[in-house]
Structure 1
Amino acid sequence: MLFPAPVKKVSFIVHQSYLDKVITSLHESGLMQIIDITREDSKLLNEIENCEPSEETNECIAYENRLKNLIGILKTYKISKSGLKALLSPTVIEKKPVKKKKLSTLYREIDSLLRHIEKKILSLDGNIQKLKSEIDDINEDLQNISYLLNFDFDISYLGDSEYVITKAGITSEPEMVSREIESLDGIAGYVQIGKRKEKKWCIVGACHVSKKDKLELIWQRHINDIYLPSMTGKPLQVYKALQKQRDKLTKEMKKLKKEMNELSAEYMHELLVKLEEIQIERVRREISSSFGKTSATYVIEGWVLERDSNTLKSLLEKVTDEKIAISTSSPSSNPDNPPTYLDIPPWMEPFKTILALFSIPKYNEISPVPFLVIWFPLLFGIMLGDAGYGIVILLISLLAKFKLGSISPFIRSWSLVGILFGFWAVLFGFLFNSFFGDFVPRFIYGDENALLYHLDFLGYSIPLDALHKPLIVLVIALLIGLVHLNLGFVLAMCQNYRRGETKKIFKEQIPWFLLQIGGGALVGKALLHIWDLSLPMFIVSSIFAAIGLIALFVNNKAMGFFELTGFVGDWLSYARLLALGLATSGMALAFNIIAQLMPEIVPYIGIVLLFVILIFAHLANLLIQSLGAAIHSLRLQYVEFFNRFYEGGGKEFTPFRVRRKYTEEIVEGGR
C-alpha cells in the first residue's frame, strides 16, 4: 500500500482463429491493460503490420449514434427527482439481465426497438421544437406590441404607404425626437414604458414619404426600431389575438411533451441497455487496432498486475487450447514507463481522487494516499477547531452513510471523509474550548469567560483557551508542521532506499535533520531563550548545524540560501492552523454576542431573532470556515508536504474490462 502494486509486462502471439475468444476473455476478466503497439518503440514494428479495426466497428458506431440521439432527446423529457428528494431518495438503477449473444442477434434486437420508436420520437421532438420556436416568436411579438398598447391606431399602418411613412421605436429622448419629426411636417406621439433609472419611451412618428430619408436618419441616430408582425388591428386587439394563439400552441406542446414523457419512462432504460451492449461490442472490435499482425497471427502486448499474471496465463491458455506463446517481464522505469495501480481498500478511494487532483504517483514512487487519510482530515479539524460544527458535520456524514450509502456508492465512500472531518473537528474543538464559539459559557453557564470543562491530563490543564492564549496554539501548530514536514523527509529516505539511491539520503535528507536539530537547539538558546545548553551539547549542536548548512550549499550552490528560506517559509505556513481556527471561533463568538443583544434591542421579537441569528449565522459560518479549512488543509498537503518527497506524473493502470451500469450478463441456467 505504501508503493504501487508491482506489474508485469506481458506479450503473446495468438493464431487469428482464436482472436475473438481472446479479446472476449480479456474484456470480461479485466486483468490486462492493452498497449497500443503502433505507438510503442518496439522491435516488433519492423516485423509486423499495424492491425486495422474490425469491419463491424463502423456498423456498431452507427447503431450507437442512433441510440445516443434518441437517449439525448428523451433525457430532456424525463421526469426526474430533484432537490432534497433526489438527495434523500436517489433513483436506483436496475440492471437488466442479458444473455451472451451474437452481434447479428444484437443488431436485430436494436433494429426491432428502433423500428418501433425511432420515427415517432424524432417526429414528436421535431414538432415540439417547431412549436417552441413559434411560441418564442410570438413572445417576442407580444413584447414589442406591449409597448404600443396605449396607442390607438391600426398597426397595419406601420411601414410605407403611397403617401405616408409610419414608424415606431424606443427612445430615451422623446421630446427632441418629436421636435425633429415635426420639423419634417410630420406628427409624433410617445408614452413612457420604462421606470426609475431605465426610463424609456415608445414613440410613433409619421411624415410624408418624400421625407423618408430624413426620418430614417432620425431613427438611426436616436431610436431602436420595433419590429411587428404583419397583422391588422389596433395594438390591444393584436395583443389579445397573439396571446390566444400562444395559449393554443402551448396547450398543443404540453400534449406532445406528455407523450414524450411517457415514451421516456417506457423506453429510456431499454435504450440505455442496448446502448451499453453495443458499446461493449464496439470496444471489443476497436481494440484490435492496438495489436500487431502477421499473415496468420496477432501480437498483443500489455500490462498485468504481478499477482494476476499466472491467472492471465491460465485464462489465455484455456481459451486457445494452449496454442499461444506468452512471455512476461519485469518493467524498467525507462523506457517502459509502467502504469500505476494503487492497491488500497475501497474506503480509501475518495483520498485517491483527492491525490489525482494533484497527480498520480509514478510506478516506483511512494503513494501518499495512506498519509492523506490521516493528515488531510486532521489538519482540517485543527483549522475548523469547533466541536459544535464538528458534531454537525459528523451527524450529516453518518446520516449520509447509513441512510443513503446503500443506494449510492459515491455517497457511501465520501461520507467517510466527512466522518473523519467531523471527528477531528470535535476533538480539537473540545481541546481548544470552542463549541459554536462561546455558546455554552455564554448561554448556558451565564459566564462568557468560563471554560467548557476542566480536566488535568498528564500535568496539563485542558481545554486550551485558544482565543485568549493563541501563542500556545501557535506553538502546537508549528510543532505539528515540523512533524508533517519531517515525515515527508522520512518518506523521501524510504523512496531513495527502495530505488537504491542511498547517496541521495546522505545528500538530500540527513542534512536537513542535522540542520533542524542543531539549528533548533542553537536558536532556542540564543534567540528564544527557551533552554540552556551545556558545553558538549552546544558543540554537538554547532557541528550538526554546520554539517547541515555545508551540505545544503554544496548540493545546491547559491540556491542553497533559497532552499533554506523556502523550508522556513513552508514551516511557517502551518501558522494557518492557528489563524483559521481563531477565525472560526471569533466569528462564532461575534454571532453569539449579536444574538444575545437582540432581546434587549428588540423586545419580544428579539427572542425570535436570537434563534434565527444563531441558526443561520452559525450555518453560514460552518459552510465558509469548512470550505476554507478544506482548501488550506489540501494546500498544506500539495505544497508543503509533497514538496519533501513527491513528484507524481504517473499513468493509472487502466485494464481492458467490461464496464456495466445497466446490464448484467447471465449464462444459460443461472447468473
Structure 2
Amino acid sequence: MSKAEIISLKENTDKIVTEILKFGMFEPRDPSIPISQGRIEGARRLIGEIQEHISKLKIIMDLAGLILEPAGKLKINEDWITTSERISKEAEDEETRYKELLEEIGKIRGEIDLYKSQMETLAPFSEITVSLENLGKLDYFDVIFSIVTITQLEELKNNKNIFVAYRLLKNGNYAAIIISLKGTQEEYLTKLGIRKFETPAGESPYDAYNEALQKVKSLEEILTTTRSQLSQKVRDNSSSFRELLGKLMTIRDALNILSKVRVSDNFIQLEGYVPEKKVKELKNKLDKIEAFIDFVYPKRYGETEEPPTYINLPKRIKAIESIIDIYGTPSYWEVSPAIFLIVTFPILFGLMFPDAGDAIVVFLFSIWFYKYGVRKGSYNIRNLSLVLIYSSVVAIVTGLLAREFFGPLLVGGLEELNPSKFPGNIGPLYYVWPVPLSISKSLAFLLPFGEYATASSIENTMIFSVFIGSLALFVSSLVGVINALRKKDMEFLIYEKLPLLLIYIAPFLIFAYGIPAGVSNGVAYFNTEKAILGYILTDITNPTSPVLYNSTAIFSYIMILWIELSIIFNWISRVILLKRYEKVSIGSAIGLGFMEGGFEAGLLLLSNTISFIRILVFALAHYYLLYAFSYMAYLVVGVPSLYAIFTSPASIALILVGNLLAIGLEGLIVFIQDMRLHFYEMFSKFYDGRGKEFEPATTYVELI
C-alpha cells in the first residue's frame, strides 16, 4: 500500500474526483501536512443528507422485497456539489411518493407492537376466564393477580393470613394468585411492592388476551395488504430505484473525497492510499488533467498513521474474507490468513461432516441463503453462504468416500448396522455408488465407522486428526515468524514468534516422521507413529532411563529434549520482556515468566495439538447419531427389511428427525468448531487482526 498526495489547480477538482471514482482504488484521507485549513463548502453537510436518503431508499426496497443492487448511469454536466444537490432533491421527491404508505406501515407496526406488548403482559393469566370486575365485588375475600419475584413470593408464603398459588415464568419471576380476607392485607401488599394485575374494563384475562390477539391478526392482515401495495408500486419502478440508489452511493463517495480536500487560493490538495500495483495507473489518469501526484511507501512498522490493508483475492474465493473479518482485519504488515484458510476451512468442515446426503441439503440451503443475502443487499450473508457452499462441497466428497447418504441404510443397509445379524442385506445404492467399493476398502484403516472399519481405525483417525493439527500449528507459527520479519521488529521476532515456532516444530516432526514409511503403505505410517508415541510416553514416565534401542526411539527422545529446550527458551524470553517493559524484580520476572512462558506454553502445546481430535469426535458423533436413528427405525418395523423400513411412516419419521438434527444442529456446531480451530488454535500463533480495511471510493453507476 502506498500513500499518494495529489496537488492541482482548483478548477480541476471535479475532474479529479470523477477520475478517482472511475479508478475505484483510492481511499481518501485527511492530509498529514495540509496546505491550508480551507475546505470545500457543503461537502460534509451533504454527506449526511445523502446517507439519510440511502437509508430511506434501502428501507423502501427492503420492504418491497427488491434486491438492493445499484445500477444505471449518472450524467455529470456540472460540478459534484450541484450534482449532489440535484440528486438529493430527486431522492426526496421519490421518497414523497411513498411517504403515506410508509407512514401507514409504521403506524400499523406500532399498533401491532403495542398489542403484542399487552399480550405478553396478559399471557401468564390468559387461561383465567373470570372477570376481574366480578372478583373485586366479593363480600369476604380479596383476590388479586400479580407478577412477583422470588423474594416477594417467599414473604407471601410466610404470611399465615394469605393464601398464594403461583407458577414459574420463563424470566424467573412468578405469576401469583393472592387470596386474603377482605380489606386486611392491602397495606401489607403495597409495602411489599406488589402491583395488582388489571385488564381493560375489568374483563377476564382470557377475554383481554384473545381480544388483543384478534387485533394483532387483523392488523397483520392490513399490514400485509399495505406492504403488497408498496411492493407492487416499487417493483413497477424497480429500475429507477436501483438507478437512484446507485447515484446516491456514487455521490456519497464523491462527497467523501471532496470532504478530505484542502483548498488554498489557487490549488487543492488531496491525500489517500492506493495499492502499490495501481500507482502507475492512477498517475497516468491524473496526468491527463495536469495534476501533480507524489507517492510515499510506508515502512512496515513505526508509522504514525497505519495504512489500510488491501487483500487482492480472486472474486470466486474472496468470500473467505468474511470469516477473517469476524476475527479482525489484518494489519498492513501481516500475511493474510486467507492464504491457507481457503483450503483448511472447507477441508476441516468436510472431515467433521462426512455424509453426502446431508451435505447436499446444506449445499442447497447455502444457495437459498446466498439468494436471501442478495435480496437483502447483505455482503456478509452472501460471503458466509459462499463459504458454506465450498465447505458443503468438500463434505459431499468426504461423504462419498465414507459411503454415507442420509445415514447408513441407503448404502450399507441393515448389514452395516449389524453385519453378523443381517449379512447381505445391503442398501439400494450399494452397487451404484459413485465411488468404487475398492477405494472405500482401501481407506478402511482410516475410517472410524462404516462396514469396512477396522479395530484400529479409531486410533488411526485420532493420529490423523492430530497430524492435521500439528501441521496447521506449525504453519501458523511459521507465518508468525514471517509476519515478524515483515514488521521489521527484531524484538517481536526473537522473543515472541521464534520461541513459538521452535515449540510447534516438535509435534509436526513427530507426526511427520512416519510419512516415508506410509508412502507405499498407509498402515505403516500409523504403526510408526504409535511406536513413537509409545517411546515418548515411556521416556516421560521414566526420565532417568530413556529408551534408546533404535532410531525411532532415539528420535522420540530428541523430540522430548527439543520441546524442553524450546519451552526454556520461551521462559527466558518472557523473563526478558517482563524485566524490560514491566520493570518487575528479577525474582518476579522469573516466576511470572515460568507461568506464562513455561507452564502455560507447555499446557497450550498439549491442548492446542490434542484439540484437533475434535475432527474425529464430530465425524463419529455425526455417524452414530444417524446410526442410532436408523437402528430405531428398524426396531419400529421389527423385521429385517429395508422395504418395510422405508414404507413405514413411523420409521421414516425417525430417519427424518435424525437427519434434521444432524443437518441443523450438528451442521451448525461443526461450522462453529471449524471457526474455533482457526481462531484459537491457529490464528493466535500469528494473527493480530488490528488493521483497517481498505475502503476505496468508487462509482456504483456508469459516469457519463
Q: TM-score, normalised by structure 2?
A: 0.66
Structure 1 unaligned spans of 5+: 1-6, 81-89, 152-166, 179-196, 206-212, 230-241
* Match status 1:417 vs 2:387: yes
The answer for the alignment partner of 2:170 in structure 1 is: none
Q: 1:385 to 1:251 in 2, by over 3 A?
A: closer
Give the Å deviation of 1:372.
0.8
CA contact (8 A) 1:511 1:548 kept: yes
The answer for the alignment partner of 1:476 in structure 2 is: 464
The answer for the alignment partner of 2:591 in structure 1 is: none
Give the Å deviation of 1:121.
4.7
* Match status 1:624 vs 2:665: yes
Distance, in Å, in 2 between the alignment partners of 1:399 and 1:254 is 23
Distance, in Å, in 2 between the alignment partners of 1:319 and 1:548 is 63
Q: 1:171 to 1:277 in 2, by over 3 A?
A: farther
Amino acid at match of 1:332: K
CA contact (8 A) 1:27 1:656 kept: yes
Give the counterpart of 2:313 among 344, 347, 350: 344
Q: Where does 1:203-218 land on structure 2 (aligned, <5 Å)?
A: none
Structure 2 unaligned spans of 5+: 144-173, 203-211, 431-435, 514-530, 540-545, 573-593
Amino acid at match of 2:343: I
CA contact (8 A) 1:517 1:545 kept: no
Give the Å deviation of 1:615.
2.0
Distance, in Å, in 1 between the alignment partners of 2:111 and 2:556 is 85
* Match status 1:665 vs 2:695: no
The answer for the alignment partner of 2:501 in structure 1 is: 509
Give the Å deviation of 1:329.
2.1
CA contact (8 A) 1:491 1:645 kept: yes
Give the Å deviation of 1:547.
5.0
> Which has the larger displacement, 642-651 or 474-483?
642-651
Structure with the greater alpha carbon radius of gyration: 1
Give the Å deviation of 1:430.
5.2
1:520-541 deviation line (CA, Å, top 9, x unaligned): 9975425369x97556776676
* Match status 1:553 vs 2:568: yes
1:622-668 deviation line (CA, Å, top 9, x unaligned): 2211111111111111111123322221212221222x2xxx3353x
Amino acid at match of 1:525: Y
Distance, in Å, in 1 between the alignment partners of 2:115 and 2:370 is 50
Q: Where does 1:472-621 land on structure 2 (aligned, <5 Å)?
A: 472-496=460-484, 508-510=500-502, 512-513=504-505, 517=509, 524-525=534-535, 527=537, 533-534=548-549, 542=557, 545-546=560-561, 548-557=563-572, 558=594, 559-600=597-638, 607-621=648-662
The answer for the alignment partner of 2:141 in structure 1 is: 176
Q: TM-score, normalised by structure 1?
A: 0.69
Q: Where does 1:262-273 land on structure 2 (aligned, <5 Å)?
A: 263-266=233-236, 270=240, 273=243
Give the Å deviation of 1:588.
0.7
Distance, in Å, in 2 between the alignment partners of 1:247 and 1:551 is 68
Give the counterpart of 1:12 among 6, 16, 21: 6
Q: Where does 1:123-162 land on structure 2 (aligned, <5 Å)?
A: none
Distance, in Å, in 1 between the alignment partners of 2:264 and 2:636 is 86
CA contact (8 A) 1:389 1:435 kept: yes
Q: How many residue pairs end up in the alignment?
A: 581
RMSD: 5.4
* Match status 1:329 vs 2:296: yes
* Match status 1:296 vs 2:266: yes
Give the Å deviation of 1:355.
0.9
Q: 1:126 to 1:296 in 2, by over 3 A?
A: same
CA contact (8 A) 2:359 2:392 kept: yes
Give the counterpart of 1:312 among 261, 282, 292: 282
CA contact (8 A) 1:71 1:268 kept: no
The answer for the alignment partner of 2:39 in structure 1 is: 52
Distance, in Å, in 2 between the alignment partners of 1:137 and 1:407 is 27
Give the counterpart of 2:342 among 373, 379, 382: 373
Distance, in Å, in 1 between the alignment partners of 2:263 and 2:225 is 57
> Which has the larger displacement, 279-288 or 328-337?
279-288
Q: Where does 1:43-82 land on structure 2 (aligned, <5 Å)?
A: 44-45=33-34, 48-55=35-42, 58=45, 61-62=48-49, 65=52, 72=59, 74=60, 78-80=63-65
SS in 2 for 1:527: helix
CA contact (8 A) 2:54 2:248 kept: no
Distance, in Å, in 1 between the alignment partners of 2:98 and 2:216 is 24
The answer for the alignment partner of 2:71 in structure 1 is: 95
Q: 1:427 to 1:495 in 2, by over 3 A?
A: same
Q: 1:537 to 1:172 in 2, by over 3 A?
A: farther
SS in 2 for 1:12: strand
Q: 1:94 to 1:430 in 2, by over 3 A?
A: closer
CA contact (8 A) 2:6 2:292 kept: yes
Give the Å deviation of 1:381.
1.5
Give the Å deviation of 1:303.
1.3
Distance, in Å, in 2 between the alignment partners of 1:131 and 1:393 is 37
State the identity as a percent: 20
Distance, in Å, in 2 between the alignment partners of 1:514 and 1:343 is 34
Q: 1:507 to 1:24 in 2, by over 3 A?
A: same
Amino acid at match of 1:478: V
Q: 1:413 to 1:610 in 2, by over 3 A?
A: same
SS in 2 for 1:49: coil
Distance, in Å, in 2 between the alignment partners of 1:62 and 1:488 is 46
1:21-56 deviation line (CA, Å, top 9, x unaligned): 21222123213111222xx4xxx25xx333334236
SS in 2 for 1:327: strand
